Amino acid sequence: MATLAQLGALILKELLALIKEPSSRIILFAPALMQALLFGYGATYDLKHVPYAVLDQSRSAASVELLARLDGSGVFEREATLTSSRQIAAQIDGGKVLMAISIPADFQDRLAAGQTAPLQLILDGRNSSTATAASGYVATIVADYNASLAGGGQSVAIERRAWYNPNLESRWLLMPGLIAALSMVQTLLISALSVAREREQGTFDQLLVTPLTPMLILIGKALPAILVGLLQSSIIFLIIRFWFQIPMNGSVALLYLGLLSFNIAVVGVGLSISALSTSMQQAMLYTFLLIMPLMLLSGLLTPVRNMPEPLQIATYANPLRFGMSIVRSVYLEGAGLAEIGLEFIPLLALAMVTLPLAAWLFRNRMY
């Protein structure tokens, strides 16, 4: 009994210590609250206002009725009405629409003759999970439309095509994104631990007496993390290309230029964490608290367009969103610098903010 009483006293002491310490209270409740909210709002697979383009070459009562059912479903939102099939590529390549519907000129004539009328559905295979769900909604709407037609054998048949991912395999969406996502974890952790390790091991003062300026010290800390991140990206790239046999359609040089810009931005975040931390344990805690929101708000699991507008705005401060967009565009689409050049601007802006911030924190926390 005495042992149980002593054990109970020790447990009570530990609980009181957790509650009394402000930082411990934050650790206990803040991560769970933040991640629950992010999962609830950010990781949504619901389809709402899916943008699509229409090429209606029939312009008949039958095609107008079918399109009205799509527009009135609450799922789809017409983004563009096209006049030529050549315009479809620009809409899908630019990410303006998730899908395009092409209705042939003889659509109504075929139905009137009791024949099957084709409807071409072109999907953006880069978002395979969303494209698959959208295809299912279209199939349901078309089935309802077919049921409303008078008997006689006429019906609408969907001819589905998926660009960049012909079979809509989810692996094609996920794996290229991992080139950026997994390297981010390693790069962020190494850079976050770099200065904190010096403080914990007692070598920080020795570092300060060297003739190197704070910025040069941070550059020396940043480059190894960047190199490790690029090495890890290379390993993942080789696995995806040769083990999983997902074809690479773009320039390897452009892919690595994007990964380099991405890793520089990530290192700036990691060094800021390291400059704020007084121990390796604290740096690791801050890093792991940050990794989950970065993953959720990147578009790795669910498209950014599916998130609530405040979270979409928050993604502009997330380097993983743009790093992943560059990797997927180059790897799956074969995009060139002209197509993805704007994606580099947020990464460079983040690096220009986080690296000077890390240097400032480093200078002002020299203890």
Among 175-189, 196-210, 216-230, 296-310, name the most confident range: 175-189
Q: For residue 23, tell me if it sits in a domain.
A: no
Are 212 and 352 part of one and the same domain?
A: yes
In one-letter notation, the amino acid at residue 350 is: L
Position 153 scores a pLDDT of: 66
Is 299 in the same domain as 315?
yes
User: Residue 353 domain-assigned?
Assistant: yes
What is the distance between the alpha carbons of residues 146 and 254, in angstroms, rounded to a whole number?
A: 47
- Residue 193: pLDDT band (50, 70, 90) is confident
Range of the domain at 224: 170-364
CB atoms within 10 A of CB 176: 25
pLDDT at 263 over 90: yes
Q: Cα separation of 171 and 260, whole Å?
A: 24
Domain with residue 144: its CATH number is: 3.40.1710.10
**Is residue 296 one of the residues assigned to a domain?**
yes
Q: What is the mean pLDDT of residues 11-25?
A: 63
- Mean pLDDT, range 299-304, rounded to an integer: 79
> Do 155 and 193 sit in the same domain of this protein?
no
Adjacent-strand bridge partners of 291:
none
pLDDT in the model for residue 38? 59
Query: Given pLDDT bands bounded at 50, 70 and 90, which one contains residue 18?
Result: low
Q: Is residue 215 part of a domain?
A: yes
Q: What is the pLDDT of residue 343?
A: 92
Q: Establish if 276 belongs to a structural domain.
A: yes
Exposure on the CB side of residue 143, measured as CA atoms within 13 A = 6
Tally of structural domains, the chain: 2
341 against 204, higher pLDDT: 341
Residue-wise pLDDT for 147-187, tens only, equals 888 666 678 888 999 888 877 777 887 888 889 998 898 89
